[in-house]
């Protein structure tokens, strides 16, 4: 059987590095091609590197058919799930794969909703028309939350957010710098906020300039931090508190260092609220004691 290699599928997953490819080639030459290539009909789905090495050296290989595929999206989802579980895939690559999966499932969910709307409007007669070409040939697609997506990719939600920003906004040179480990995901997400020509210039200048560009972006977004006493007085408003307590809270705020102003004000408000509740509790206890003494 002739095996068909589709370049779109071959490029769907980031290629091996030269060192990884050389290691795979040495393994196959020493031990043969141990894992079967996965096909969908004649189309090669998984095993492009192994297939190329075997063809190059005239080595035999096994194939297996995946009969569950009904569309190219099914193929893509299967490929994504296979690679999300591999330890050799970087954090950035896992994030990109998780975003691709989300987009496929979101499109399927929209198709499901459109079909349900047609059924509701009487345009089609419902599930009985299983052979209708407008009927999605797949199970109902679940809505995927950002937390679910992050968990499957073994990332935090904030990492997924940064990877999505890079995926949408970054120049190709910046994306390549992330893939090759020249720059971290968080730094690349910051640089991605710059105009594309500035991203390209920073990437061309190398690692140090990329770091400096990320630093400049972060500093431009950082609001000046008010002195602790000023934040304290702006937070307490008309509330009267003991001066020694004010100093205590101010010391705590200073210990926070460069924390966001909103967080600092929230800490003040919660601390003062806690003080008020303690005072109210003490007053209630005194009332109870006075009442008990009067009854006695």
Question: CA-CA distance, 228 to 188, in Å (whole number)?
Answer: 32
Look at residue 4 and give its three-state secondary structure.
strand
pLDDT surpasses 80 at 10: yes
- The β-bridge relationship of strands 37-40 and 43-46 is antiparallel
- Decide: 40 and 69 in contact? Cβ < 8 Å: yes
Question: CA-CA distance, 242 to 214, in Å (whole number)?
Answer: 43
Return the ∠ at Cα 110 (arms to 108 and 116), rounded to 5°.
105
> Higher-confidence residue: 88 or 132?
88
The structure tokens 């995927």 sit at 144
Compute, in degrees rounded to 10, the torsion defined by CA atoms 203, 206, 211, 214: -10
> Higher-confidence residue: 117 or 283?
283
- The crossing angle, in degrees rounded to 10, of helices 261-295 and 228-236 is 50
Question: CA-CA distance, 119 to 251, in Å (whole number)?
Answer: 65
pLDDT surpasses 80 at 94: yes
The structure tokens 């987009």 sit at 103
- Decide: 21 and 28 in contact? Cβ < 8 Å: no
Question: CA-CA distance, 37 to 4, in Å (whole number)?
Answer: 12
Query: What does pTM read for this prediction?
Result: 0.64
Q: Which two tokens stand for residue 196?
A: 């594309």
> Higher-confidence residue: 1 or 191?
191
pLDDT surpasses 80 at 190: yes
CA 236 to centroid of chain Cα atoms: 38
Q: Quickly list H helices, the chain.
A: 7-10, 18-31, 48-57, 72-84, 91-121, 146-152, 157-169, 172-179, 185-191, 196-205, 207-221, 228-236, 243-255, 261-295
- For residue range 214-238, what is the model confidence (pLDDT) as tens digits? 999 988 887 665 555 554 555 445 4
Q: DSSP secondary-structure letter at 238? A: T
- Decide: 29 and 57 in contact? Cβ < 8 Å: yes
Of the pLDDT bands very low, low, confident and very high (cuts 50, 70, 90), residue 57 is very high
Question: CA-CA distance, 193 to 209, in Å (whole number)?
Answer: 15
């Amino acid at each position: 059987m002739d095996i068909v290699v589709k370049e779109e599928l071959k490029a769907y997953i980031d290629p091996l590095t030269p060192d990884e490819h050389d290691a795979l080639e040495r393994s196959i030459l020493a031990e043969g091609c141990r894992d079967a290539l996965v096909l969908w009909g004649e189309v090669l789905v998984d095993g492009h590197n192994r297939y190329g090495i075997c063809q190059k050296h005239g080595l035999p290989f096994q194939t297996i058919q995946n009969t569950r595929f009904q569309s190219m999206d099914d193929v893509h989802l299967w490929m994504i799930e296979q690679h999300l579980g591999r330890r050799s895939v970087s954090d950035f690559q896992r994030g990109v794969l998780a975003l691709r999966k989300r987009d496929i499932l979101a499109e399927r969910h929209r198709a499901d909703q459109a079909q349900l709307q047609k059924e509701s409007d009487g345009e089609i007669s419902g599930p009985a028309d299983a052979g209708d070409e407008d009927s999605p040939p797949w199970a109902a697609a679940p809505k995927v939350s950002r937390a679910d997506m992050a968990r499957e990719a073994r990332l935090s939600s904030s990492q997924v957010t940064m990877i999505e920003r890079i995926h949408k906004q970054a120049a190709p040179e910046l994306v390549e710098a992330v893939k090759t480990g020249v720059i971290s995901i968080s730094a690349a997400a910051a640089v991605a906020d710059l105009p594309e020509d500035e991203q390209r210039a920073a990437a061309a200048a190398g690692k140090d300039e990329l770091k400096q560009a990320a630093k400049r972006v972060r500093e431009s977004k950082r609001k000046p931090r008010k002195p602790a006493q000023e934040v304290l007085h702006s937070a307490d408003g008309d509330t009267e508190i003991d001066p020694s307590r004010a100093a205590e809270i101010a010391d705590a705020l200073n210990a926070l260092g460069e924390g966001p102003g909103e967080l600092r004000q929230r800490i003040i408000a919660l601390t003062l609220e806690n003080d008020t509740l303690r005072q109210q509790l003490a007053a209630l206890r005194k009332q109870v004691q006075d009442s008990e003494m009067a009854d006695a």
